[in-house]
Amino acid sequence: MTKMSILKRALICAVCIALCVVLPMAFHSIPDAGSILSPMHIPALLCGLVCGPWFGLLCGLAGPLLSSQLTGMPMMAYLPPMMVELAVYGLVAGLMMQFVRTKKSLADVVISMIVAMLVGRIVAGAAKALIFAAGEFTMAMWISSYFVAMIPGIIMHLVAVPALYYALEKAHLIPRRYPKA
């Protein structure tokens, strides 16, 4: 895989941050779709996968913050744990893409996403239980809010993000992970 320039990665990161503002606006026009499908997770994961861990971390922190300031979504009560979760998504997705090498782009992306989504949910749940809602956030609440209620969003992310990654590769907007021999 050839490396992208820092400028190209910064531009893609900026687009992903902008998508963190725009996607929730579109999804929130459908009742409960924003909270169930978690559209802001898509650009944070994609940024980490495409641009690497540090840009993914930046997108995960800046995207929700900018969206909250411009649109009021997420609300301030949900903003800190969401920033933690999405920052971990971007960071871990980027790190995983550096270490996972199956010789198949799709497998690399899906494995990296699954690990990032698990670690992000664990870290965000721990942060919520220990810092943001100390003493009020139980294990049952964590499982319910971060896993059970999010099943439609998790499925959508596991379909949409690899498709977007593949489309970016196919359009030559990002370098192929495994160039043809």
Residue range 54-69, pLDDT digits in tens: 999 999 999 999 999 9
Report the half-sphere exposure of 56 (CA within 13 A, side-chain side).
Answer: 29
The full set of domain ranges for the chain reads 6-170
The separation between the first and the last C-alpha atoms of the chain, rounded to the nearest angstrom, is: 12
The residue among 151, 61, 141, 157 whose CA lies nearest residue 109 is: 157
Residue range 100-117, pLDDT digits in tens: 999 999 999 999 999 999
* Mean pLDDT, residues 141-154 taken together: 82
Residue range 57-103, pLDDT digits in tens: 999 999 999 999 999 989 888 899 999 999 999 999 999 999 999 99
Token readout for 138 is 């139980």
* Mean pLDDT, residues 125-146 taken together: 80
pLDDT reported for residue 85: 94
Distances (CA, A) of 176 to 69, 87, 170: 36, 25, 8
The residue among 123, 56, 125, 119 whose CA lies nearest residue 91 is: 56
Give the residue carrying structure tokens 């929700």. Answer: 64
Which CATH class, in words, describes the domain spanning 6-170? mainly alpha
Residue range 40-56, pLDDT digits in tens: 999 999 999 999 999 99
Assign residue 38 a region: left if phi > 0, alpha if psi is -120 to 50, beta otherwise? left
Distance CA 111, CA 165 (A): 13
The residue among 92, 64, 58, 60 whose CA lies nearest residue 78 is: 64
**In a 10 Å sphere around its CB, with 0-12 CB exposed, 13-18 middle and 19+ buried, how is residue 109 labelled?**
buried
Distance CA 125, CA 129 (A): 6
Q: What predicted TM-score, i.e. pTM, was given to this entire model? A: 0.92
Report the half-sphere exposure of 174 (CA within 13 A, side-chain side).
Answer: 22
DSSP, collapsed to helix, strand or coil, labels residue 73 as coil
On average, the pLDDT of the chain sits at: 91
